[in-house]
Amino acid sequence: MTKQEFLEGLRIALTGSVSAGVLNDNMRYYEEYIDSEIRKGKTEAEVMDSLGDPRLIAKTIIDTSSGNASQYAGESEYRSYSSGDAGRESARSDTRRTPNSFNVISGWKAMLILVGVIFVMFFILFVVFRAIGFLFWFFGPAILIFILILFIMRILD
């Protein structure tokens, strides 16, 4: 497949399914991507093989742009998958998150963070109780005498 055949297949597959802006953005992106890969030394055939089927890329673009059309007016996500066995890499992926989304940390990183938080909590508790203990050791007799005086005054009244 040539560059022109790829781009024409992509245009045909996207026409009518996405807005004109999304269509033009994707056509421009893939044309620039192919040209840049050729400038890097790859042949046109190698680039076309790595991109895969333009209909699969178009389906991915349609799926991602329809879900985000209301959130990102005028913006689009580019994502392509090749049909080869190395086809799990995307050529370009502009991932956008909604304002209320966050990443979940799991595995050994989460365990390391948890152990760190527990360590910090124990350290803070140790320091606080040590300071309180010192205060009672230092001011304890004075506090006891003050309480004893208040108790005696209460009895005498």
Residue ranges per structural domain of the chain: 1-99, 103-157
- 75 or 141: whose pLDDT is higher? 141
What value does the mean pLDDT take over residues 78-84? 44
Lookup: tokens for 45? 């055939």
Phi first, then psi, for residue 72 (nearest 5°) are: -125, 70
How high is the pLDDT of residue 80?
43
Q: Which of 76-80, 132-136, 142-146 has the lowest mean pLDDT?
A: 76-80
Q: Write down the pLDDT at residue 93.
A: 43
Weakest mean pLDDT among 52-66, 81-95, 135-149: 81-95
Q: How far from 34 is each of 12, 122, 133, CA to CA, in Å?
A: 18, 56, 71
Query: Model-level pTM?
Result: 0.43
How wide is the angle at C-alpha 64 spanned by C-alphas 62 and 100, nearest 5°?
A: 155
Work out the mean pLDDT of the chain and round it to a whole number: 79
pLDDT at 98 over 80: no
Structure tokens of 94?
A: 């502009």
Question: Which distant-in-sequence residues (6+ apart) come within 8 Å of 52 by Cβ?
Answer: 80, 81, 82, 83, 84, 87
Q: What is the mean pLDDT of residues 39-67?
A: 89
* Angle formed by the axes of helices 20-39 and 44-51, nearest 10°: 130
pLDDT at 94 over 90: no
